[in-house]
Structure 1
Amino acid sequence: MQQDENLAAGSATPWDDNGQLEVLTFDVGDERLAVEAVSIREILDLLPETPVPGAPDLVASVVNFRGKIIPIADLRVAFGMPRNPAEEAHPDHRIVVIETEIDGEPLQIGLRSDKVHEVTILDRADSSEPPVLGMRWRREFVRELVRQPGSVIVIPNLPTIFTSLAEAA
């Protein structure tokens, strides 16, 4: 399957012809996540957030960045991780702005992260689909798990996460 077809499919990880994927790795809680580098638009220091009354918990606020309103997603909600609304900002916290497609429309969304690590190359040989049992997250929210020395990197299925949010609205 070509990379463009993978992206259009939404659920497949867009490995290149060499079985590699360039990603940005970052932490959300105790989990290391990875998002395709081609979807990254900005990495921002924390900005003042404006709560959106009645918005779903996953995207309950927005920021104004260079005159553009960007919804802020907290992936802790999608993955059922504990949230601490009173948690103070830490110097490592960042907003990773990605561009993804929802219902055929390009959309920029900021992902709250506890720490951004690096852009790196992952190998398909180290990856596997999420298991049917033993996952604490909704299986459809995880594209793949990639084994690394001493850890596992989660490649979230962001189109499915955000599409499920749009369908619930």
Structure 2
Amino acid sequence: MRQLITFRIGAQSLAVDIMATREIRAWSPTTPLPHAAGFVRGVLDLRGIVLPVIDLSARLGWGDCDPTPRHVVMVMQIGDRPYGLIVDAVSDIATIDSADVQAPPELGRDGDHDLVKGIVTIEGEMVMILDLDRLAGDCPLPEETPLAA
């Protein structure tokens, strides 16, 4: 058994391992970074730490998000640094049996399916489980640095 936190981007349901989730914050504008990947919205100050923020909709190839006060930033620990993911809304915490997770189908689409670790049905709805390491893997950023005082 394992626990996931589920959330929405548009009509899509997605999930990540709850153990990687550090906090959920209200949307606030980011500071853009020059020459960052197109899906990197910018950075936020997270209690003195530079938090890179990924537009998850753009990262998944679903188009850029236009954040509003209704959006949230999920702060995730990915590898040795925190990242923020812009999502429409956090839904629930789900406990699933690992045996119920199915591998995503091989669709031959530019490696986008590599971002999906598995698919599971929760309460009659298909939910894509994201691979956080791959999600941030193409996101070259400076080392974690405290903001200057």
Give TM class, smaller chain.
0.7 to 0.9
What amino acid is the match of 2:20? S
For residues 58 and 129 of structure 1, what CA distance do their matches in structure 2 show?
Answer: 25
Distance 1:134 1:31, change over 3 A: farther
Count of matched residue pairs:
140
Percentage of matched positions with identical amino acids? 29
Paired position in structure 2 for 1:108: 82
Paired position in structure 1 for 2:129: 155
Contact 1:59 1:73 in 2 (8 A): yes
Greater share of residues in helix? 1
Contact 1:29 1:81 in 2 (8 A): no
TM-score normalised to the size of structure 2?
A: 0.83
Q: Which of 24, 34, 39 is matched with 1:58 structurally?
A: 39
Contact 2:26 2:69 in 1 (8 A): no
How do residues 18-167 of structure 1 correspond to structure 2 at under 5 angstroms? 20-84=1-65, 87=66, 89-91=68-70, 93-101=71-79, 106-133=80-107, 138-166=112-140
For residues 119 and 133 of structure 1, what CA distance do their matches in structure 2 show?
Answer: 29
RMSD, aligned CA: 2.0
TM-score normalised to the size of structure 1?
A: 0.74
Q: What are the ranges of 5 or more consecutive residues in structure 1 without an aligned counterpart? A: 1-19
Cα-to-partner distance string for 1:58-116 (whole Å, 9 max, x where unaligned):
213011122221000112122110225xx35143x110001011xxxx01000101001
Q: Which moved more, 1:75-84 or 1:107-116?
A: 75-84
How far residue 138 of structure 1 moved from its aligned partner, in angstroms, is 1.6
For residues 95 and 118 of structure 2, what CA distance do their matches in structure 1 show?
Answer: 14
What amino acid is the match of 2:68? A
Query: 1:62 is paired with a residue of what secondary structure?
Result: strand
For residues 22 and 42 of structure 2, what CA distance do their matches in structure 1 show?
Answer: 19
Contact 1:60 1:73 in 2 (8 A): yes
How far residue 135 of structure 1 moved from its aligned partner, in angstroms, is 7.0
What amino acid is the match of 2:112? R
How far residue 137 of structure 1 moved from its aligned partner, in angstroms, is 6.9
Distance 1:88 1:60, change over 3 A: closer
